[in-house]
Amino acid sequence: MGKMSVNLCGIELDNPVIPASGTFGFGYEFAEIYDINILGTFSFKGTTKEARFGNDLPRIAECTQGMINAVGLQNPGVEKVISEELPKLKKCFHKPVMANVSGFSVEEYAHVCSRLDGEEQIGWFEVNVSCPNVHGGGMSFGTQPSAVAQVVSAVRKATKKPIIIKLSPNVTDIVSIAKACEDNGADAVSLVNTLLGMRIDLKKRKPVIANVMGGFSGPAIFPVALRMVYQVSKAVNIPVVGMGGVSSAEDVIEMMLAGATAVEVGTANLVDPEACKKIIEALPQKMEELGIDDLKSIIGGAC
């Protein structure tokens, strides 16, 4: 069987498959369905300083080959994550986990990372500067190089653990933003978060989602995500984590050929809770079919 391990910011992963934040809870929920230790790692629910209920209902709208969500960073707050969520996770997941961090100010990003920094289970911080579903934070930090630079610099001072900056596709030039991340101390970038979209109810003649707009995800966005991963991986010298519409072993390999060191799977988990397990199980056969002996060897192979 071919080698599936990859190295992400100095931490070895058994395979490159990572459930994306917001689609995998805090992990222990999925541990009731299968042994989640099969995963490379996973990115847990986006965490803020204070607890958040999230946006008003309805929050979900179906689309052709995808969905729109506007959950709004619902989470119990960093202190509850430390005291309640991580101890539950420790019982069922025995690998380093990725902490997804969100904020409404530079100071909040730094504070949350500082509070989580001492948690042994956390291997990486995935700093979300690209959430399109909240007002006054999230994506507003990720649309200008100067703004993202402030967040990266502040978080870099708050932790010595690897920092992965999660980027938005809702920009004109994602390469300049990725370079700003690299220049200010990021260890990697992950992309893409959801595209901004909306649906209208024809009978009610108003937006389906209470928030009006939300994050569009699913297989429909894969070509856009792949293009951006390709562009960014050619422009920076730090690892790229690819995501956006990934739902198969073939998609994982395609993302890695575009330059991704590891690959996150999002919406597919909401369609099939065993999606990541099935992708990991399918990878060896697909590697054999394509003559791949070691996944590391194909990273950036199409660049």
pLDDT tier at 131, thresholds 50, 70, 90: low
Tens digits of residue pLDDT in 45-65: 999 999 999 999 999 999 999
Domain for residue 195, yes or no? Answer: yes
User: What mean pLDDT is predicted for residues 251-279?
Assistant: 98
- How does pLDDT run across 171-196, given as a tens digit for each residue? 999 999 999 999 999 999 999 999 99
- pLDDT over threshold 90, residue 207: yes
In a domain, 59, yes or no: no
Q: Does any domain span residue 284?
A: yes
Number of domains into which the chain is organized? 1
- Evaluate whether residue 234 is within a structural domain: yes
User: What integer best gives the mean pLDDT of the chain?
Assistant: 95
Mean pLDDT across 1-15: 96
**Structural domain contains residue 290:** yes
**Cα 145 to Cα 168: distance, rounded to the nearest angstrom:** 12
pLDDT value at position 135?
A: 46
Count other C-beta atoms under 10 Å from residue 274's C-beta. Answer: 13
134 part of a folded domain: yes
| Domain annotation covers residue 219 | no
Catalytic residue annotation: 131
What range defines the domain where residue 249 resides? 6-54+72-206+224-298
Would you say residue 139 has pLDDT above 70? no
Residue 224 has pLDDT above 70, yes or no: yes
Q: What is the pLDDT of residue 142?
A: 72
**212 within domain boundaries:** no
Contacts of 155 by beta carbon, 8 Å cutoff, 6+ apart = 101, 109, 110, 113, 125, 127, 163
CATH of the domain at 275: 3.20.20.70
**Stretch 157-173: mean pLDDT, rounded?**
96
Question: Is residue 132 pLDDT above 60, yes or no?
Answer: no
